[in-house]
Structure 1
């Protein structure tokens, strides 16, 4: 099987859709774990579920940045930088503003309501929420008041990284050409070294905030992943080797995940704390995290390249599912967390068994996303606000006159 960067890569489309689908399940899981803060919480929590979620939280968002950069690299071969700049701005910044002013508001409202910080009254809260000079919840203000992007933080990061890469595209394309002769294992070691350095020097000083302006650890991590994804997409030989070696990447990822879970459950408590705080101990931890991170990403890239690089496959016999996912993915992403929180608030007073409640939450969230997308796609304004392609009707006087005669 030959890997080429000149033809459409259906595996990239599939991975993007599956990664966002995983994100929905992850955020539903956040409602049921105790140790990680979230907007609202179930009265029933699970350590086992938390261990399962650890499987993805080391690399889940990195995979999305990696895939987005791959898509950008492939697109820039057929579109001008100006067109890509306009496209990414329209399909990222407009949905971001729509999300901040409309979509995420219920998340903030129900979070504050659950903590008894505000009185009931959604419309009154929304008016205060969009007012940058509001005196409501002053201790929770950002420089723009209560306005927030919550789970949509991925969008401003993606826009900034995309613009920086488009500006630097000539240099990156030249670098990609020079890297043709570089063995893939050396490139992987460089990517791992970058992640280890970010973790070692920045993780404690700049804990994750998703606030964009001061989130230096996340920038060091995700922007490096974004650059790696861009360069990787232009290297057919690296791509092919990842597909061939996919089983080894998966085995490495499973081993490192097992070590992480063992550590979180106290298996290594007998090791002196001084070793964990030493340079050697921290580098060892950083190496395990980097292997886990890149092992999962490259295993998924490899398996997708092997089995999903075609329009139709065993998952999608006629290609309709992928076509739907490509169009619906952004509205689903924008809507899902708000729907999770709204439905969780509605279900909580029923005190259902947690298994039944969780299944209902998944079904209701997916049904809400589906219904929301079906409504959004029918009107040009909602399409524009949610990042869908907009084709305005063109008035043709002659055609109208002909129509009148009939």
Structure 2
């Protein structure tokens, strides 16, 4: 088994068509598509009967442990079109001390910060850019709150595709700089991410570029769903009782829900499903409001603000898909204050040595709140998603000064 076997192997592909997520209208595969005629995201469909014979537990066990090992359930037809920076499977890390304090039987973190560009955006953008390359796209643009833009810049450069990224003025500085460092043209906009997205959409309509915004093309979901495929395999072909997922655009939550259904159709897991929890910040919680009010769609959140920039999405294109997955799973949507997010980051780092990003901190804060409110039980097997490395974000300076000339009281250090 060679390290790059998954990238170079002949790809027996099983994509049959694309399907409107709202109406079910079919669209031809192997053509460039944005949203459906109903203005809704398109979903990739596969010949799952055909996949069943090729994608077995035994076949997976003999492949390198990266995202591309799931190739029969991925849309890229030709190995030459795969755009990769080494998307290795991410580890599951126990928060044993924090879990014990909360009284949870099992508290695990799927640490997506180990991926290229330091976030789970690598999964979706690797797939979207690979398909853009396969379909002959020469120029792409998208809005970002930070990490998605960094991933797009990296994969766009690797694919040789011209890339433009628009971000809100207050996007974390390191994200803005890494986007530029990795070859994209990046612009700061005096607005929020959906307002950046409107500018991108206008340029796409005018024919200046292809719009790679969240869920406005079909393939980022397919990359993100590998989080769920990978999780099920890592847990011995079972799913956890509850998944807490930081939800802005919600592509990963939607993708994992789709992936679990595909795994069941292949006979790799049973009918059990985790309760899917959409985690948002109190300063930007459109999904929580819609879930509480029993709505199918979420209105735009006014004055969106939170320290967790990645989930500061006032209006999500796939709102109904997020809410559908939450409700079908028996899950819920929950919002947490910034103070709880920061406290959760601090506790996980100090107690268990895992530095969460703000969005990951939100999932820990949400799990604690859900337990306190009786929304989950102490016996539940809980998985949190840490979507990026905490090293990208500002940290308080708690260092102290020590003069080398002494005298030094070593015992007091």
Q: TM-score range by the shorter chain?
A: under 0.3
Higher percent of residues as helix: 1
Rg (Cα) greater in structure = 1
Higher percent of residues as strand: 2
Higher RCO (C-alpha under 8 Å, 6+ residues apart): 1
